[in-house]
Structure 1
């Protein structure tokens, strides 16, 4: 299994290193735009506080406010929310399916242990998500260093309120770290695991479309069982009294991950691999 994992990491991540460099530059560009905007708001409203990297994290993963349907409030999915998540969906989409009809099939037949192949793909999936977010976080940090911002976890409430209309009160530091650092990664792993399993059950393109629909539904409905909500800072209870909480969000993610892994295993244990070529 070790050889299988190393092969997946090499063929599925390291081989496509340039994609993560592109993601890094996209994140860095958006972060630079944010810090340029902060200078405008600081001067306009005479804000004394300096910006920090955590402010940029919140900006990057803000998503959209809870949507309340009305004739005067048309529904518009935020571009940056879709951009980051659909790029990740593209990274997840094709490699496992391609490997099943290539080197992966040979390794699966040779080892006679389909659980090793599927487990390796799940590890690759998680590693891909972590690498993706690492590129984003590095882009934010580099942009912050260029603008000599504070590398801290302190939120500058007045600035965030002026820029994003968020009222952030009564929070604990670890909650902010979870909502902008840990929860997006775990949620993306859950969604990516679900997408990967669906790509074998139906087709990579169909699974990608289903994930797009999931994101749109998550933007339209602020529900605890729609994991797309966990990727939007606007949707947590620190900002919205009716928003999502950490524990149920993590539970939903863990359930999606476990179900995707277990159902995927039973699927590959019984499917005719040679017949799917």
Structure 2
């Protein structure tokens, strides 16, 4: 699991060796952004309109899509966990923590000081919260402004995070190699990422609810 979510080391413009981004990491989160961008919009201008007409409550549709969003992100990480668990069984590993020497050699990650609980928090809880926050933000922008804008926003955050270590770029919290817990020289703090994620989730939920109540979806659908 650490191999999938490790991300990449910090980009340093003055470094002499060629910086090669982890394209697998990028594709994973671009795929999530694509999924988030597809279903809610199609549903809103398809079967979802029938639901809105019958229920006469826009809040019901909005809440259901927020739940769908969180559920799908949870399923995504659950699949990663199950794959890691199956691989561990096949390889004969019987512990949660990965081998310290392997992590240090291949991923430049120090796991020697972590407990099982801390490891689970950093590898599962933090990425889950950050991904949910970014996905809800994307869904709000896609519905209120335009789907293309929402998708471009998410992808831009991920790409910019590859080349910048700024803490406001949430993609940095999705890379284990940049986490202060695994890299003592890093400024990326998981707790700051959790706080930012909670704030972003609350703002997205409230903004989406208030704006969706006034959104003219019938006119937008006909244009």
State TM-score, norm by structure 1: 0.74
2:39 match: 95
- 3-state SS in 1 of match to 2:157: helix
- 3-state SS in 2 of match to 1:94: helix
CA distance, structure 2, for counterparts of residue 88 and residue 102 of structure 1: 22
1:21 match: none
2:142 match: 199
2:49 match: 105
User: Mapping of 1:124-203 within 5 angstroms?
Assistant: 124-150=68-94, 152-203=95-146
CA distance, structure 2, for counterparts of residue 255 and residue 74 of structure 1: 37
Kindly provide the CA deviation profile for residues 53-110 of structure 1, in whole angstroms up to 9, marking residues without a partner as x: xxxx222211011222215254433112112111211221111101111121111122
- 3-state SS in 1 of match to 2:20: coil
State TM-score, norm by structure 2: 0.91
State the Cα distance separating 1:243 from its structure 2 match. 3.0
2:219 match: 275
Aligned residues: 220
Kindly provide the CA deviation profile for residues 25-59 of structure 1, in whole angstroms up to 9, marking residues without a partner as x: xxxxxxxxxxxxxxxxxxxxxxxxxxxxxxxx222
State the Cα distance separating 1:128 from its structure 2 match. 0.8
Pairing partner for 2:201 from 247, 253, 257 = 257
User: Mapping of 1:205-224 within 5 angstroms?
Assistant: 205-224=148-167
Structure 1: tracts of 5 or more residues without a match:
1-56
2:175 match: 232
State the Cα distance separating 1:169 from its structure 2 match. 4.2
1:266 match: 210
- 3-state SS in 1 of match to 2:180: coil
Structure 2: tracts of 5 or more residues without a match:
none
State the Cα distance separating 1:126 from its structure 2 match. 0.3
1:63 match: 7
Q: Does 1:122 align with 2:66?
A: yes
- Is residue 214–residue 228 contact of structure 1 (8 Å, CA) maintained in 2? yes
Describe the shift of the 1:146–1:176 C-alpha distance in structure 2 as closer, same or farther (beyond 3 A): same
RMSD: 1.7
- Is residue 5–residue 176 contact of structure 2 (8 Å, CA) maintained in 1? yes
User: Which has the greater radius of gyration?
Assistant: 1
1:79 match: 23
Describe the shift of the 1:212–1:74 C-alpha distance in structure 2 as closer, same or farther (beyond 3 A): farther
CA distance, structure 1, for counterparts of residue 99 and residue 78 of structure 2: 24
State the Cα distance separating 1:127 from its structure 2 match. 0.5
